[in-house]
Amino acid sequence: MSTAGQVIKCKAAVAWESGKPLSIEEVEVAPPQKNEVRIKILFTSLCHTDVYFWDAKGQNPMFPRILGHEAGGIVESVGEGVTDLKVGDHVLPIFTGECKECAHCLSEESNMCDLLRINTDRGEMIHDGKSRFSINGKPIYHFLGTSTFSEYTVVHVGQVAKINPEAPLDKVCVLSCGMSTGFGATVNVAKPKKGQSVAIFGLGAVGLAAAEGARVSGASRIIGVDLNPSRFEQAKKFGVTEFVNPKDHDKPVQEVIAEMTGGGVDRSVECTGSIQAMISAFECVHDGWGVAVLVGVPNKDDAFKTHPVNLLNERTLKGTFFGNYKPRTDIPAVVEKYMNKELELDKFITHSVPFSEINKAFELMLAGEGLRCMIRMDA
């Protein structure tokens, strides 16, 4: 019997309080309302952002909550007004959106939708300010409009990318957040030319995706910068050719890179959120044409400080959000890059656990092991 229009009971991993293991619970998932779709999640992975808000240090704690935002699934039912998605479509729910109507969505230069851009403090659906999740009548908060740590979830249609049904969801689901963020920061924003040099600050999953973008762009030198030397060997698989650990030098790392490259790299991409790394990434690019792109999210009280002459000397500083990709318009084409073997994703997925063992994924990330842990919802 069809579940469309019905409340679905299913399993979800609920965060009841800060820093405590998630609890597998039976939740009730309401039907989608206007401009919403209900999705059966097949695979989800753990991103550092999930851990950050689970730990709830430095932002507003919101519990109980169903986390998760990097996932792939199949549309189970659609709400009123949804015309470009249908039951059975293969989709990626995405933490930011594209309403296709606001000034940002109508601009070719922006992906920062007025209606649906990331809002970490919103725990309900936009349509009516209510949650679609509940346990015994008590509402459970949403997370980033996606809440993929549930066998079924409800998402605004503007946050859903319809993709090729032949694409393996257990691989391409990582494109719904980290991999697109890093890869797009390089290919869409830094835009290195073939043969140029690129420095990548931070060799976690997003930084390695940025390195992958530099490799695909034909960069001649890709310099990885990280405080953790154990990351260097793995980074070679993503095209990184040289490594710098700032702790190994008694001068600022931007000076080290300038000496290595005869005046600075052509492009740099910062993926740590450290203000010092951001300053170094900007000051290590070559004057005249160097471009630095900031990806990492700093603490709210941080301030960026550099001498204005660095800008007057024709260095360019840019910021980016989700790799400058529009979720609905652009992400299906990025999936096709994977299908056409122009983009590698398998090497980002270093671990896999069944949904019942989702807390193991948190343990791996907290221990700094691996890049992405795939969580299999049917296991």
Catalytic residue among 10, 25, 104, 105: 105
Whether 270 is a known active-site residue: answer no
Bond into 21 cis (ω within 30)? no
Q: Write the burial class of residue 301 (CB in 10 Å: 0-12 exposed, 13-18 middle, 19+ buried).
A: exposed
Task: Please state, in angstroms and rounded to a whole number, the distance separating the CA atoms of residues 241 and 223.
Answer: 6
Residue 262, burial from CB neighbour count under 10 angstroms (0-12, 13-18, 19+): exposed
- C-alpha angle 22-172-127 in degrees, rounded to nearest 5: 60
Is-catalytic flag, 177? yes
Chain centroid to CA 378: how far? 23
CA nearest to 120, candidates 45, 41, 184, 61:
61
DSSP 299: P
Write out the DSSP string of 306-329: --THHHHTT-EEEE-SGGG--HHH
Residue of 44, 49, 181, 186 with catalytic role? 49
Alpha helices in 39-113 (DSSP H): 48-55, 103-106
Cα gap 222→237, rounded to integer Å: 12
- Catalytic residue check, 70: yes
Of 65, 69, 156, 215, the catalytic one is: 69
Q: Please indicate whether residue 105 is annotated as part of the active site.
A: yes
Catalytic residue among 36, 38, 44, 47: 47
Whether 142 is catalytic is no
Question: And the tokens for 99?
Answer: 């309403």
**Residue given tokens 């230069």 in the structure block:** 109
Q: Which of 10, 99, 271, 373 is catalytic?
A: 99
| φ/ψ bin of 202: left (φ > 0), alpha (ψ from -120 to 50), beta (otherwise) | left
Catalytic residue among 25, 44, 65, 70: 70
Please tell me which residue in 65, 90, 117, 267 is annotated as part of the active site.
Answer: 117
Annotation says 113 is catalytic: yes
| Choice among 48, 122, 221, 351 that is catalytic | 48
Our answer to whether residue 99 is catalytic in this structure is yes
**Catalytic residue (choose from 10, 177, 284, 373):** 177
Active site residue 47: yes
Cα–Cα distance for residue pair 62/12, rounded to 1 Å: 17
Helices 358-366 and 48-55, axial angle in degrees (round to 10) = 90
Point out the residues that are catalytic.
47-49, 69-70, 99, 102, 105, 113, 117, 177, 372
